[in-house]
Structure 1
Amino acid sequence: MTRAANELKRVVVLQGGISAEREVSFLSGRGVVEALRSKGLEVETWDPACDAVGFLEEGRFDAAFIALHGKLGEDGSVQGLLNCLGIPYTGPGVTASAVAMDKELTKTLWRAAGLPVPEGERVVAGASDEELARLIARYGASGLVVKPDHDGSSIGVTKLQKDDVTVESLRAALDAAQRGGADTALVEEYVHGREFTIALIGGKALPVIEIIAPEGSYDFQNKYYTDVVRYECPAALDEAPAKHLAAICEKAFAVLGCRGWSRVDALQRPDGSFVLLEINTAPGMTPHSLVPMAARAVDLDYASLCMKLLGLAETD
C-alpha cells in the first residue's frame, strides 16, 4: 500500500550495511537525508550493521528510503524485514530484489524473455585449468569480463583484453571476483562498444545516459571519486535506437517484477545492437550518481526526485 508523498511525515533512511559498498551507501544516504529534510520531513537513519531492529519497530515511520547497496540491502533481506514491520519502502519487493541481485539468474530470465544479454556463465571457485581453458575458448575471442555474481559498483570486476587472456590471468581475475568468500563468479564475453545506463521510475525509462570513461575504465574509483568520466544525457543516439533501448529496459524491469525504481546498464555492440548487463534495484544517490542526472534531464531536481521515489514506497 502506498501513500502520497505529501502525506508522509516521519521517514527513515537505511544506509551503511555490511557489503563492500558500505561507504558508497553512506554517500547516497547523506544526500537523501538532506533532501528529505529540505522538504520538511522528519528523517532518521538506520544502519543494519550496528543499529537494533527495535529502532525500526518503535519508530512509527511512515516509510523507509533504502539507500543500502549490495548484500542485505538489495538482495531482499531488508525488504523482507520491512514487510514484517509493515513499513512501506522504496524500490522492488523481496522476490524481485533477490533475483536482481543474482546476475546470472537475471540474465537467464531476461534471455528467456527474448532480451539480449552477453554470452557467459557462472564459474565455481577452484575451477580446474581445463575448465578455464574451455571458458577462454568459448567466450574469449574478444576478451573476457570477470565479475562477482552478487556485488555492484564495479567492485571486483576485471576486464581482460584479447591478448591478455590466459588461464593464469583468468584465475587471477576469478580470485579478485571471489574475494571475501564468494564461491561463484561470472565469466562473460567482452563486449566492446558504447556504454549506457537507463534509469526507470515507476517502470518508465528516463532519458538514456551514455558513459564515456577513459579507456573504457568505468571502475569503482572513476564512478565515485574522480571527474574523469564524461556523461551525455540525453545520449547522442538517434530516436529509433534510443526508443528501442528504453523499451527493452522497461521490459527488463517488468520481467523481474520490479516496482518503484531501478537502473539498467547496457552496452551497444559495433553493429548497433544492444545487450543488457544488469539491473540495480537500489541505485546510487551520490553526487556522481546517474539516476539524479537522468531526472535533471526531465526537470526533476534531486530533492523532488527523492520525494517522488518515496511516494512510490510500498510493502509486498
Structure 2
Amino acid sequence: MKTEAPEQLGKVGVLYGGKSAERDVSLVSGKAVCEALASRGVDAHLFDTGVRSPAELQKENFDRVFIALHGRYGEDGCMQGMLEEMRIPYTGSGVMASAIAMDKIMTKRLWLAQGLPTPRYRVLDADTDFDAVVSYLGLPLIVKPAHEGSTLGLTKVTDAAQMADAYAQAAKYDRSVLAEEFISGMELTCTVLELDGKAEALPLIRIVAPGANYDYHNKYFSDETQYLCPCGLDEKIERQIQQYALQSYKALGCRGWGRIDVILRNGDNAPFLLELNSSPGMTGHSLVPMAARQAGLGYEDLCLTLLRSATLDHREHEGN
C-alpha cells in the first residue's frame, strides 16, 4: 500500500451522482467519501458526472479520482476508459474488469469456466420459450437485467404465467435479461480489499431482511434490515466462502476492492456466488464500511486506503 500523506495525494475528485438508475445512492456515497477524505486533510472535491461534462472534468486537473459511482456509466468500464484516456488515476477495477463485473451473464460464464459455484441460468429475449426455461431452472426463479444493480428490475417468479411480465419488467432497464435458478438460503456478502498490495477477504456479513426480501428499499433505506458481522457461521464455512470470493474477484481481473454477494444454500450449506460489485456503496447502510470496521479499519481510513490505490490500467511507455 502506498503511504503518501493525505496532503501529498494532490487534488482529488470524488466522482458521484452520474446518470444510472442508482444515481440517488451514488449521491449519498460520494458526499460521505468526500467528507471523510477532507476530514483527513485531503484536497477533495465533489464532481457530479451526471450534470457536468468530461471537458469540465479534464479542466479540473485532478491528480487522481475516487469513483463513488454505481451502475452504468460509472461502474461498467465507460468512466474507467475515459479516465485512462485523460491519464487520471482512479480507484477500483480497470476497464475490462469493470465491464465484465457489470455484466452478470459474462461474469457467470467466467466463473463457471473457473469451476466456481454460481446458480444455473438462461439468457432471455422476447422470443424465448419461457415454459422451457421454467422446466430447466424450476420454480421459483429470478428474472433480472444483466447490467443493473441494487435489485432494480428484478422479479422473483413463482408461477410460469409470470414470466412474460417479469421479462418485460427487466427489459425496461436492459436489452440483456437473464433468468436464474433461485437458491433458498442465507444471504451473505464478502468484501475483498487490497491491503499492502495483496487482496484480502474481510469478515463476512449476514443479511437478514424483513420478510427475507432484500429489495431496493430494504437495501438502502430500511432500518429493519439486520446486518450481522461477525456472521455467526462456522469458521471453516466462512473461510471457504472467503476463498471463493477471492477466486471470483481474481477471475474477473478486479483490483482495489470489490464486494461479492453469496447465498449459502439451506440444507447442505453449499455456497453460490451471485454477483460482484466493483464499485460498492459507501453510504450509512453500506456493507463494505461495516466489514472494514470489523477488520479494524474505520471509514476514513478505508477511504484513504482506496484513494492511495488509485492507478491506471496502462502506464506510459518509456520514450513514447
Same fold judged by TM-score > 0.5?
A: yes
TM band (smaller chain): over 0.9
SS in 1 for 2:262: strand
Structure 2 gaps, min length 5: 314-320
Aligned to 2:46: 45
Which of 300, 304, 308 in structure 2 is aligned with 1:307?
A: 304
Cα deviation code 1:105-157 (max 9, x no counterpart):
10110011010000012112x235xx00000101024x111111000011111
The one-letter code matched in structure 2 to 1:140 is: G
Aligned to 2:91: 90
Aligned to 2:76: 75
Aligned to 2:9: 8
Cα deviation code 1:254-294 (max 9, x no counterpart):
11110000000000112111000000000000100000000
Aligned counterparts of 2:145 and 2:28: Cα–Cα separation in 1: 22
The one-letter code matched in structure 1 to 2:135 is: A
Aligned to 2:221: 225
Which of 235, 241, 245 in structure 1 is aligned with 2:241?
A: 245
Aligned counterparts of 2:2 and 2:155: Cα–Cα separation in 1: 41
Aligned counterparts of 2:163 and 2:5: Cα–Cα separation in 1: 49
**Size of the alignment, in residue pairs?**
307
SS in 1 for 2:259: strand
1:115-154 to structure 2, matched below 5 A, reads 115-124=116-125, 126-128=126-128, 131-141=129-139, 143-154=140-151
Aligned to 1:192: 184
SS in 2 for 1:172: helix
Which of 165, 178, 188 in structure 1 is aligned with 2:159?
A: 165
Deviation, structure 1 residue 68: 0.6
1:144–1:165: 8 Å Cα contact kept in structure 2?
no
Cα deviation code 1:225-259 (max 9, x no counterpart):
11111111121111111000000100111111100
Identity across aligned pairs (percent)? Answer: 44
Aligned counterparts of 1:45 and 1:35: Cα–Cα separation in 2: 12
The one-letter code matched in structure 2 to 1:133 is: D
The one-letter code matched in structure 2 to 1:301 is: G
The one-letter code matched in structure 1 to 2:113 is: A
Deviation, structure 1 residue 86: 1.2
1:259-298 to structure 2, matched below 5 A, reads 259-270=255-266, 271-298=268-295
Aligned counterparts of 1:5 and 1:250: Cα–Cα separation in 2: 29
Aligned to 1:216: 212
SS in 1 for 2:75: coil
1:14–1:66: 8 Å Cα contact kept in structure 2?
yes
Change (3 A) 1:5 1:257: farther
The one-letter code matched in structure 2 to 1:206 is: L
2:147–2:176: 8 Å Cα contact kept in structure 1?
no
1:91–1:282: 8 Å Cα contact kept in structure 2?
yes
SS in 1 for 2:179: strand
Aligned counterparts of 1:52 and 1:313: Cα–Cα separation in 2: 22
SS in 2 for 1:201: strand
The one-letter code matched in structure 2 to 1:132 is: F
TM-score computed with the length of structure 2 as normaliser: 0.93
Aligned counterparts of 2:189 and 2:131: Cα–Cα separation in 1: 32
Deviation, structure 1 residue 2: 6.9
Deviation, structure 1 residue 67: 0.6
Cα deviation code 1:70-93 (max 9, x no counterpart):
110111010011111111111000
Deviation, structure 1 residue 173: 1.1
The one-letter code matched in structure 2 to 1:174 is: Y
Deviation, structure 1 residue 5: 5.6
Aligned counterparts of 2:26 and 2:186: Cα–Cα separation in 1: 27
Deviation, structure 1 residue 176: 1.2
